[in-house]
Amino acid sequence: MKLSELTAGTMFMPPEWDREFNHIHADSRDIKPGDLFIARKGHSSHGKAFISAAIEAGAAAVFSENAEMFRCEAGSVPVFPVSELEKQLPGWLKKRYPGYESLTLYGVTGTNGKSSVTQFIAQLAAASGKRCGVIGTLGNGFFPDFEETKNTTPDICVVYRLLDQFAQSGADSAALEVSSHGLHQGRVAGLIFDVAVLTNITQDHLDYHGDMANYFAAKAALFDKDKARSAVINIDDEYGARLISMPTLCDHYLTLSSKKNISADVVFHKVVATADGMKAELQTPWGTEDVYVPLLGEFNVANLAAAVTALAVTGEDFGNLLIKAETLQPVAGRMALYTKPGACKAVIDFAHTPDAIGVAIKSLAPLSKTLSLVFGCGGDRDRTKRAPMASAASLADNVWLTDDNPRTESAEQIFNDVSDSPDASDFTYMHDRAAAITAAIEATPEDGVLLITGKGHENYQDIMGVKHNYSDEAVLLSLGYQRAGGGYAS
C-alpha cells in the first residue's frame, strides 16, 4: 500500500514523497525495514523521542503528531506533521488491515475473569468447528498456541494487525480482553464489538484511574451504542447493575446472574462441586439445561455462562455449546492443580485483587480442612488495595506474604503496608518467593491445599526494572510436584 492510498481524504501526500510501506507501528522497537512509524503522545512519553530509532530500524516514513513542520531525516525518510493523529489513526488502520470486518468480535472486560471468558469462547468455538483468535493477557493467537504479549490489550496498531492476521488465517471470530487502560488510551478505537461482556468490577488500577468512578467509567465505555451491538452484563456485580441503567448502553443486552437475581435473562444456579468439576443449571432465553464444566470453582461456572451466552447471542447453538463445555481445558495459571505423593495439593492462580483472592479461597475451602496461602502485592501499583488484600488473605488458615513483582518500589515498604492491617498480624513474611512456597508446603498437612496467588502464568519476577526468570510452576516442579491431568483440585 502507498502512503497516498492510506491518507486519501485525510491529508495531502506530496507525490515526490509518496511511497510503499509495509506495516504500521507506534512502537519503534517493532519497526522493520519498510514500515510506517507513528510518533504520537503516549501515557509517559512522546513517540517523537524515538523517531531516530525507528528510522535506524528501517522506517520508510514517519507520521508525527503535532510536529511543527515537514522534514527529512537520514537523507530520505520523510517525517510528516499530523494534527489530530489519534482521530485519524483508526481510519488508516482500517484501510491497511481490513480483515477485522469479516470477524465476529467479542470484547470482554472486568477486573477478574477476562482471560477465562475469552479462552472459553475460543475453545467452545473451536470445538464447534469455528476458528477464533484471542488477544489478551496470556498471549495472542489461536488456542492453545499463543505468542507473548506486552499488554493485556495491545497498542491499537497491534490490535488491528492481529485481527487482520486472524482473518487471513481463516478465523471466523476473535475474543479480546479489553482492559480499562486499553479503553482509556483508545487501543480498540474504531472497533464495534458484536458482543461486549462485563464479568465484574472490583478495586484495581486506582494508581492509574485515581478512583473507582473513573475506573468504572473506563470500563463502561465498551458498552456504549457506538462500540457494541449487544452485551452480556453480570448484574450480581454492583457496577453491572449500574451499567444497565446508563442511557448510552447499547440497545440489545442480556443480564447474567446467579440465584441472587432470579429475574435475570441468564441465570446459573444449583451449583454443585463434583469430584472432577462443577455442575449447575443454566436458565436462558434458549432454554433451561444442566451444564457440567471440568474445572474448579463457582466463578468458572459464571465465566462459562458468560462465554456461552456471548456465543449464543451471535447465533451459536445453545445445546451444542453446553455439550462442548464438557471438553473445556484449564486456562494457564488459573486454578491450576499440582500434586505430589505424601504432600499437600498446590493450586496456582492469577488472583491479584482482594475480590479474586477471597473468591479463590472460598472456592477451595470446602475441599480441605487446612487451606494455606502464599500471596504478594505488586509494586508501583495502588497502595490502598494492600490492606483489603490482607483482609481477603486472612480467610486462609495460614498465610505467607512474599514478593510479587515489587518493580521499582521497596519490597519492605510493600510488607509494611500489608502489616498495617490488623488482619495481617499472624502472617509469615518472606521476601524469597520460592522459599515462602517451600515453607508453606512443609507447614501444610498432606490432606491440605496450598493456594499460590498473584503470578499465575507469569515467568518472571520484576525487580527494579529487571525481569528475573521465575515461575511458581517451576518452583513446584523442582519440589517434585506434577501438574494434574485435568487441572482441577479434587
Question: Which residue ranges make up the annotated binding site?
Answer: 28, 110-116, 151-153, 179, 185, 187, 381, 404-407, 454, 458
- Nearest CA among 178, 266, 257 for reference residue 223: 178
Strand ranges for 392-447 from DSSP E: 398-401, 428-429
Helices and strands of the chain, counted as H and E runs: 16, 25
**Interstrand relation of 266-274 and 252-257 (parallel, antiparallel or unpaired):** parallel
Report how far residue 68's alpha carbon sits from residue 286's, in angstroms, rounded to the nearest whole number. 58
Which residues are annotated as part of the binding site for meso-2,6-diaminopimelate? Answer: 381, 404-407, 454, 458
**For the chain, how many residues are written?**
490
Helix or strand run (H / E) with residue 24: strand 24-25
Report how far residue 235's alpha carbon sits from residue 242's, in angstroms, rounded to the nearest whole number. 8
**Backbone torsions φ then ψ of 63, nearest 5 degrees:** -105, 115
Q: Which three cell numbers stand for residue 66?
A: 503535532
Helix or strand run (H / E) with residue 42: none
Strand ranges for 120-215 from DSSP E: 132-136, 139-142, 145-147, 173-177, 195-198
Report how far residue 357's alpha carbon sits from residue 455's, in angstroms, rounded to the nearest whole number. 12
Amino acid at 175: A
Amino acid at 21: F
With beta carbons less than 8 A apart as the criterion, state whether 215 and 201 touch: yes
3-state secondary structure of 252: strand
Report how far residue 127's alpha carbon sits from residue 143's, in angstroms, rounded to the nearest whole number. 11
- Residue 390 has, within 13 A of its CA and on its CB side, a CA count of 21
3-state secondary structure of 235: coil
Which residues are annotated as part of the binding site for ATP? Answer: 110-116
Provide the β-strand partners of residue 374: 400, 452
Amino acid at 489: A
Helix or strand run (H / E) with residue 480: none
With beta carbons less than 8 A apart as the criterion, state whether 10 and 88 touch: yes
Strand ranges for 334-484 from DSSP E: 336-339, 345-349, 371-375, 398-401, 428-429, 449-453, 460-463, 466-469, 482-483
